[in-house]
Chains A and B, each alone.
Chain A
Amino acid sequence: MRHHVILRVIAKLGIPFIVLFALYVQFHGDFGPGGGFQAGVIFGAAFILYALIFGLDNALEAAPMNVVVAFIAIGLLLFAGVGVAALLLGGNYLDYGALADDPVAGQHLGILLVELGVGITVAAVMIAVFFTFADRGR
């Protein structure tokens, strides 16, 4: 799709906003509709759109495959790590109340971190799966 000028221009204009919207959904998910799962998928969709319009090679330059694969594990480890941190701070596993002095603040912090972990893993899995499918087709 290298020669479709309209597609290229619109994608270039749109992708930053898609990423911005994904971040908004990620961190505003406590107050409005949204959260890690949705944000991860939207974030992944931005990269997939980029790969569709500008070609897989350019997309792989923006998001190298080994980095994406590493992020799959990082998200899950962040989630599990929050649980371990709660354990070390004297609470039960995944009991975020122990993360801060005030249980409510701890809960809020824990939810934020856990959602971040969910978002990272979901986004990385979506990007990695699409890249492998696209790479296979060449």
Chain B
Amino acid sequence: MLLAFLAVIALAIVRLRNLFGVVMLSGIYSLLMASIFVILDAVDVAFTEAAVGAGIATILMLGTLALTTSRERVPMHTPLLPLVVTFITGAMLIYGTWDMPAFGDAAAPPNRHVAPYYLERSLPETGVPNVVTAVLASYRGYDTLGELTVIFTAGIGVLLLLGRRRERGDGRATTRGSGA
């Protein structure tokens, strides 16, 4: 049911030309996704999605709209070729789902590989009851370090691209982009 809502909102995002409305709808889309994550037992992920998707991403997009324009022009060329491409790709992906395990199957390969080890051993080995935290920080520490580096790099990139090189020393010393 919620998935159907999600599909409807995504369709509305595609149809709408007012970018302000598009951004608002994408915020609602994120909030719906967060509730679906709760239903799918991923509370940590839902937490993140609600804070990030409905909060920060929406604000950043609104900030971009304030700096640019909020109307989308009607494209000049016909969308026939993209439609054909998406239909073919979608059909191939749906054909691929035939081999997927059924929803919620405890015996599916992804749920039998390392997950039982984590669920059994994480509490005695790390003393942390939240398995997601234990796996995130300990078992997959390298991965998380890499992800954090990506966030670091993206943040530095934004500062370099948009940071104002201000020579006036007015005490606030905003970002000084050195690369540009």
Contact = CB atoms under 8 A, between A and B. Distances in A.
Nearest to B158: A129
Contacts of B149: 76
B154 A125 contact: yes
Binding site secondary structure of chain A: helix
Best-surrounded residue of A29, A33, A122, A124 (most CB of chain B within 10 A): A33
B56 A30 contact: no
Binding site secondary structure of chain B: helix
A50 interface: no
Contact of B155 (A38, A42, A110, A125): A125
Best-surrounded residue of A37, A65, A126, A128 (most CB of chain B within 10 A): A37
Contacts of B144: 79, 114, 118
Contacts of B142: 94
A111 B138 contact: yes
A53 interface: no
A38 B47 contact: yes
Given A35-B44, A135-B164, A108 B51 contact: no
Interface string B48-65: 100110011001100110
A137 B163 CA distance: 11
B74 interface: no
Nearest to B162: A132
Contact of A121 (B134, B152, B158): B152
A65 B162 CA distance: 13
B59 A48 contact: yes
Nearest to A129: B158
Interface string A35-65: 1111001101100100010000000100011
B67 A137 contact: yes
A10 B173 CA distance: 30
Contact of A111 (B56, B66, B133): B133
Contact of A73 (B52, B125, B128, B152): B152
Interface of A: 25, 29-38, 41-42, 44-45, 48, 52, 60, 64-66, 69, 72-73, 75-76, 79-80, 83, 94, 96, 103-105, 107-108, 110-111, 114-115, 117-118, 121-122, 124-126, 128-137
Given A35-B130, A38-B47, A104-B125, 19 more contacts: A30-B128, A30-B133, A30-B134, A32-B130, A33-B132, A35-B44, A35-B133, A41-B52, A76-B148, A94-B141, A103-B125, A111-B126, A114-B141, A115-B137, A118-B137, A130-B56, A132-B158, A133-B60, A137-B66
22 contacts: A31-B129, A31-B130, A38-B47, A41-B48, A48-B56, A65-B173, A69-B175, A79-B144, A83-B141, A107-B126, A111-B134, A114-B137, A114-B141, A115-B133, A118-B144, A121-B152, A126-B56, A128-B158, A129-B159, A130-B63, A132-B158, A135-B162
